[in-house]
C-alpha cells in the first residue's frame, strides 16, 4: 500500500533549536559499523561467486572492545590490543560447498582498516574473535525460495527524509573535510576519531569538535597547544563557507587544560579512542545518511552488516532516504519529504505493508496535485528492488 499525505509538522529550518551529531571515521561506533558492513559485502561477493546468489547472513552484532596504550609526547606504545568480536549469523555450507566465513570476515576487516586508519596495524593492534553461527532453519529457508525478490526476514519499520538542513550539511561537511586525504596530508597530526556536534539556535550555529592529535607528532605540551591553535584557525576558516548562518562558532577539544601535561591534552597513539578509552558497538553510531539528527524521526534498526537482499532493517532504511530524495528532486514545490516504510515478515520486500510519503509543500500547493506522481515514483523504486539490493550488496550506498 502506498499512501501520500501532507506533513503536518514545522520545517526543521524554522524550529528555533536544532541538534545534529556526526561520528567520524575513527570513532569506535563508526569503526564497528564500517567493519561489519565490510564483512557483509565480502561475504555477499563470495556467495555470489560460489553459489550465484547471496545467502543468509547477518553480521550486525559487532563489538570493538577498547585496548590499552601508553601515550607519551613524541610517541608511546600499545600495551594491550583492541579486540573485535564479529557476530552473529552466516551460511557456512550449501550444496556440498563450504565457505571459509571466518577467514573472509577477518580479511575484510583488515582491508578496511588498512584503507581508512593510518596508524592502526590490523595485524598487531587488534585481536579477532569470530562468533558467527549457522542461521535458524526458518530464516535460512527464505533464501531457497523462488523469485529474484525475497521475502522479508522481519517485521520492521524504517524512516528516511530529504533534503538535509543547512545544519546537517554543515556538520557532515566539516567532519568529512577533517578526515579527507587532503586535510590529513597537510595536518598528519590529526587523528581520525572525530566527533562533531552542531547546535543551531535561530540563525547561529555552534559547533563542538573533538579530534585527538597523534602523539608521535606532538613533542610537548607547548607544541600541542601551538598545533591546536593552527587547527582551530583552519576549522574557523572552513566554516565561513556556511553562509546560511548569521554566526558560526567552533569549539575544539574543550576538555583541554594547559599546565596539566599529558592529563590536560587530547592525544591518541593510533588515531582512535578505541585504543584505550572507548569501546564501540554496531548501531550506536550515525544513521544511514551519516547523521544523528535529534529533530528528525529516527528508526532503531542497526543497518550495518545486515544482509542486503532480505533484511528490511537495512534495505528499507537506505531505500526510505533514497525515495525521499527522488520525490524531492522530481516533484516541484516540495520543501521537505519524509518516507515511512513497514514490512511484514515473509512478504516480498517489494510489497511493504505500507510506504508512506509525508510531504511538506510550498504555500499554494496541495497534496492532491502531486499524489499521482509521488505514487508512480515510489512504485518504480519498489519495482526495481532486485537491482537496488544488488547495488546495496556491493557497497554502493554508504550506511554510516
Q: What is the DSSP letter of 141?
A: H
> Residue 392: which H helix or E strand, with range?
helix 385-393
Distance of CA 363 to the CA centre of its chain: 34
Domain membership flag for residue 249: yes
Distance (Å, rounded) from C-alpha 33 to C-alpha 30?
A: 5
Are 320 and 158 in contact by the 8 Å Cβ rule? The answer is: yes
Predicted confidence at residue 134, as pLDDT, reads 83
Mean pLDDT of 334-342: 96
Is residue 28 within a helix (H) or strand (E), and if so which, with residue range?
A: helix 28-51
Q: In what order do the strands lie in the sheet with 292-293?
A: 247-252, 204-210, 195-201, 17-23, 292-293
Residue 147: pLDDT band (50, 70, 90) is low
pTM assigned to the model:
0.94
State the pLDDT confidence band at 37, using cuts at 50, 70 and 90: very high
> Looking at residue 300, what is its pLDDT?
85
Contact 88, 58 (CB under 8 A): yes
The domain in which residue 172 lies consists of 12-24+165-281
Domain tally, the chain? 1
Percent of the chain at pLDDT > 90 equals 88
pLDDT band at 138 (very low <50, low <70, confident <90, very high): very low
Backbone torsions φ then ψ of 376, nearest 5 degrees:
-65, -40
Inside any domain, residue 227: yes
In this structure, the dihedral spanned by the alpha carbons of residues 226, 230, 233 and 235, taken in order and rounded to 10 degrees, is -120
pLDDT at residue 364, as a whole number: 81
Does 391 map to a domain?
no
Per-residue pLDDT, 249? 97
Which CB contacts under 8 angstroms, 24+ apart, belong to 208-211? 208/251, 208/254, 209/174, 209/178, 209/235, 209/250, 209/251, 209/252, 209/253, 210/253, 210/266, 211/24, 211/178, 211/252, 211/253, 211/266
The answer to whether residue 142 scores a pLDDT higher than 80 is no
Strand partners, 95: none
Is 230 among the domain residues? Answer: yes
DSSP 134: P
Is residue 254 in some structural domain?
Answer: yes
Which of 124-133, 140-149, 210-219 shows the lowest per-residue confidence on average (mean pLDDT)?
140-149
pLDDT given at position 94: 86
Q: 133-147, 207-221, 271-285, 336-350: lowest mean pLDDT where?
A: 133-147
Q: What is the pLDDT of residues 163-217, one digit of tens each?
A: 999 999 999 999 999 999 999 999 999 999 999 999 999 999 999 999 999 999 9
User: Is the model's pLDDT at 148 over the cut of 90?
Assistant: no
Least confident of 13-22, 86-95, 192-201: 86-95
pLDDT greater than 90 at residue 330: yes
pLDDT attached to residue 146:
58
The CATH number linked to 176 is 3.30.300.340
- State the DSSP H helix or E strand holding residue 38, giving kind and residue range, or none if neither: helix 28-51
- Whether the link from the prior residue into 350 is cis, omega within 30° of 0, is no
Residue 311 domain flag? no
User: Is 314 inside a domain boundary?
Assistant: no
Residues 190, 216 contacting (CB under 8 angstroms):
no
Region of residue 120 (phi > 0: left; psi between -120 and 50: alpha; otherwise: beta):
beta
Average pLDDT taken over every residue of the chain: 94
Q: Are strands 2-6 and 354-361 parallel, antiparallel or unpaired?
A: parallel
Nearest residue to 393 (alpha-carbon basis) of 99, 145, 107, 40: 40
Q: What is the DSSP string of 207-230?
A: EEEE-PEEGGG--SHHHHHHHHHH
pLDDT above 80: residue 140 = no
Residue 144 has what pLDDT?
A: 59
Does residue 186 form part of some domain?
Answer: yes
Amino acid at each position: 500500500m502506498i499512501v501520500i499525505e501532507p506533513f503536518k509538522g514545522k520545517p526543521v529550518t524554522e524550529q528555533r533549536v536544532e541538534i545534529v551529531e556526526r561520528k567520524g571515521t575513527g570513532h569506535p561506533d563508526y569503526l564497528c559499523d564500517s567493519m561489519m558492513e565490510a564483512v557483509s559485502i565480502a561475504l555477499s561477493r563470495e556467495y555470489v561467486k560460489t553459489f550465484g546468489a547471496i545467502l543468509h547472513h547477518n553480521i550486525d552484532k559487532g563489538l570493538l572492545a577498547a585496548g590499552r596504550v601508553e601515550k607519551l609526547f613524541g610517541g608511546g606504545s600499545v600495551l594491550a590490543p583492541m579486540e573485535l568480536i564479529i557476530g552473529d549469523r552466516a551460511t557456512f555450507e550449501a550444496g556440498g560447498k563450504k565457505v571459509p566465513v571466518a577467514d573472509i570476515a577477518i580479511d575484510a576487516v583488515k582491508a578496511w582498516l588498512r584503507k581508512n586508519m593510518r596508524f592502526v596495524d590490523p595485524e598487531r593492534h587488534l585481536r579477532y574473535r569470530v562468533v558467527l553461527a549457522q542461521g535458524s532453519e526458518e530464516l535460512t529457508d527464505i533464501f531457497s525460495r523462488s523469485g529474484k525478490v525475497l521475502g522479508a526476514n522481519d517485521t520492521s519499520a524504517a524512516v528516511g527524509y530529504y533534503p538535509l538542513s543547512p545544519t546537517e550539511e554543515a556538520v557532515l561537511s566539516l567532519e568529512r573535510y577533517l578526515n579527507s586525504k587532503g586535510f590529513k596530508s597537510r595536518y598528519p597530526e590529526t587523528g581520525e576519531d572525530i566527533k562533531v556536534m552542531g547546535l543551531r539556535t535561530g540563525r547561529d550555529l555552534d559547533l563542538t569538535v573533538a579530534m585527538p592529535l597523534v602523539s608521535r607528532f606532538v613533542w610537548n605540551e607547548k607544541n600541542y597547544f601551538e598545533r591546536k591553535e593552527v587547527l582551530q584557525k583552519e576549522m574557523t576558516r572552513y566554516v565561513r563557507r556556511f553562509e546560511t548562518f548569521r554566526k558560526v562558532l567552533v569549539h575544539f577539544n574543550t576538555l583541554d587544560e594547559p599546565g596539566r601535561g599529558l592529563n590536560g591534552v587530547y592525544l591518541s597513539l593510533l588515531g582512535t579512542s578505541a585504543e584505550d578509552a572507548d569501546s564501540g558497538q554496531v548501531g550506536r553510531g550515525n544513521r544511514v545518511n551519516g547523521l544523528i539528527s535529534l529533530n528528525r524521526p529516527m528508526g532503531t534498526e542497526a543497518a550495518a552488516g545486515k544482509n542486503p537482499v532480505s533484511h528490511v532493517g537495512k534495505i528499507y532504511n537506505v531505500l526510505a532516504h533514497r525515495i525521499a530524495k527522488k520525490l524531492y528532486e522530481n516533484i516541484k514545490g516540495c520543501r521537505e519529504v519524509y518516507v515511512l516504510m513497514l514490512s511484514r515478515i515473509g512478504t516480498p520486500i517489494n510489497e511493504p505493508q505500507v510506504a508512506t510519503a509525508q510531504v511538506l509543500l510550498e504555500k499554494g500547493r496541495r497534496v492532491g496535485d502531486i499524489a499521482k506522481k509521488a505514487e508512480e515514483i515510489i512504485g518504480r523504486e519498489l519495482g526495481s528492488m532486485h537491482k537496488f539490493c544488488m547495488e546495496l550488496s556491493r557497497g554502493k550506498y554508504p550506511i554510516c
